Amino acid sequence: MTEADYNSRLADVRIQWNKAEAAIKLAENVNNKVVNPAIFELRYAGRRLMEAEEAKSVGDFDGACSKLADAHFDCCRAQHDAIDAATSKISQSLDSATKQMSPKTVIEIYPKFSDTYSKLHAVRQKISESRENRDCRDTVYDAIADVDLPELVRDYNEFKSCAPLMRRQALFERWTIIFAGIITLVVGVIGGLVLDAFKDDCVVCSQTSGNPASVIESPSTPHKLTYLITYGEFAP
């Protein structure tokens, strides 16, 4: 290895480092906590760069280029980790929304939900396929970082902006269901009481049909009014 080889590999590392940083910045727009693994990978890459510089300073270009290769690999892993973490977080948030709230509520407030979910599924499918074909993995992640991820993050941020309204709507629907249940219960109880009272009236009327005056003459009878309405007469 020569100094020219060293400079060429250093340029490759610089390019990949910039790609990793761009992916991390996008992932931070999803959740700044999910990017920690990617940042750690960049720290490892920085350490390898220092080691490469030390090897170069003593004329060990083979060792220096080897360290640069490790740094490049760490930068690739940082980019991949950032994209994986961002898409995973988006997936969890979308799934959680449909579990905590009805899909109807989510779609009413955020009509693009199905489209966003389809985009996410397509990205996750590309990631899955890239793991089976290591030769094209970097190319696939570059395409996701340049095209798919920025659009997906924009849609996700729009979805997050709708989350408070979704929660309020879900709470309203939940209390509506509870209130309707209470009303149904109250109506059922009242209806049962009315039905029981009607049955009692029918029994009394049947028992006194042979002697109408007995209903009137007995002050203790609780069904005088019912009897009068039924027979249309008053016995003095």
What pLDDT, in 10s, does the model give residues 51-93?
A: 999 999 999 999 999 999 999 999 999 999 999 999 999 999 9
Domains in the chain, number: 1
Rounded-to-integer distance, Cα 185 and Cα 108, Å: 30
Does residue 217 lie within any of the structural domains? no
216 falls within a domain: no
Domain span holding position 38: 3-180
In a domain, 32, yes or no: yes
pLDDT at residue 3 in the model: 87
- The yes-or-no verdict on residue 234 having pLDDT over 50 is no
Give a yes or no: residue 26 inside a domain: yes
Considering the domain boundaries, does residue 186 fall inside one? no
| Residue 118 CA from chain centroid, whole number | 14
Which residues lie closer than 8 Å to 27 by C-beta, 6 or more apart?
Answer: 34, 35, 38, 82, 83, 85, 86
Residue 194 lies in a domain: no
In a domain, 208, yes or no: no
For 34-43, 45-54, 196-205, 211-220, which range has the lowest pLDDT when averaged over its residues?
211-220
What is the pLDDT averaged over residues 149-171? 84
pLDDT value at residue 200: 59
Indicate the DSSP class of residue 117. Answer: H
Alpha-carbon distance of 89 to 20, in angstroms, equals: 18
